[in-house]
Amino acid sequence: MQKAKIAPSILSADFSNLESEVRAVEKAGANMLHIDVMDGHFVDNITFGPSLVRSIRSKTTLPFDVHLMIDPVQMYIKDFAEAGADIISIHLEIKDDLFKAIELIHSLGKKAGIAVNPDTETNKILPFIDIIDQIIIMSVYPGFAGQSFIEGTISKVKEIKDLIRGREIDIEVDGGVSPLCSQDCIDAGCDILVAGSSIFNTDSYELSIKEIIGF
Ligand code: DX5
Ligand code: ZN
């Protein structure tokens, strides 16, 4: 059976105990840490910036999967790279120059990803498939944790899998992921599942992770 990686989103963690939350998901089997950055402009919510990324960098060896829901983005990329991001994803829908941003991410030695909103046509990703390392398929409208998984995501994963034609690009599904939909995502070709509330809002992170990605 195909297995996916799991990237807990710290957006649903207890911020007053962030160090122990990060250590707890690492111990529970997380493969990377998903960090949601929001600017109150591209999305209707504000979260955190590079200083938070820097402050937890020394607390874990997990790769940092930084999801930037911000526009403009170029002026902040270096800060996130220096703060400890390993993968930096930007949104396909921003007005800022995506090609320049991706080039900058790579020039800093980091992996680059593009996130695609639920209402964005999948073929808009085509101009970028030879220069990116990851595609985040949003399974909720970006901005908040705890929303319901949008069912149409499964067919989108299959479409994008076809579009990339075997290229080495990780497909990540982000938003509302729970054991109810995770297997369908994996069967459709998803490599990484992001999960916030379905891990951090439970009593056993280890059990929740196993229930999402399989025992
Ligand atoms: C939504 C974020 C997601 C979110 C996931 O804008 O990009 O990463 O925090 O949280 P859940 O799993 O609760 O939907
Ligand atoms: Zn995210």
3-state secondary structure at position 196: coil
What are the per-10-residue average pLDDT scores of the chain (215 residues)? Answer: 89 98 98 98 98 98 99 98 99 98 98 98 98 98 98 98 97 98 98 98 98 94
| Active-site residue flag, 79 | no
Which residues crowd ion ligand 2, with CB under 5 Å?
A: 36, 67, 174
pLDDT of 130:
98
Give the per-residue pLDDT at 3.
Answer: 85
Q: Which domains does the chain have, with CATH numbers?
A: 5-213 (3.20.20.70)
Catalytic site includes residue 97? no
**How many whole angstroms from 134 Cα to the centroid of ligand 1?**
17
Cα 130 to averaged position of ligand 1 atoms, centre (Å)? 27
- In tens, the pLDDT along 100-117 reads 999 999 999 999 999 999
Q: Which residue of the set 97, 174, 187, 191 is catalytic?
A: 174
Give the helix/strand (H/E) hosting 33.
Answer: strand 33-38
Ligand 1 interacting residues, C-beta cut-off 6 A: 9, 11-12, 34, 36, 67, 140, 142-143, 145-147, 174-177, 194-198
What pLDDT is recorded for position 1?
Answer: 54
With a CB cutoff of 8 Å and minimum separation 6, the contacts of 199 are: 6, 8, 12, 25, 28, 205, 208, 209, 212
| Strands (DSSP E) found in 51-180 | 64-69, 87-91, 111-116, 134-138, 170-174
Closest CA to 9 of 147, 133, 180: 147
Mutate to test the pocket of ligand 1, among 36, 88, 135 (most ligand atoms within 8 A of CB): 36
CA of 145 to the centre of ligand 1 (A): 4
pLDDT the model gives residue 105: 99
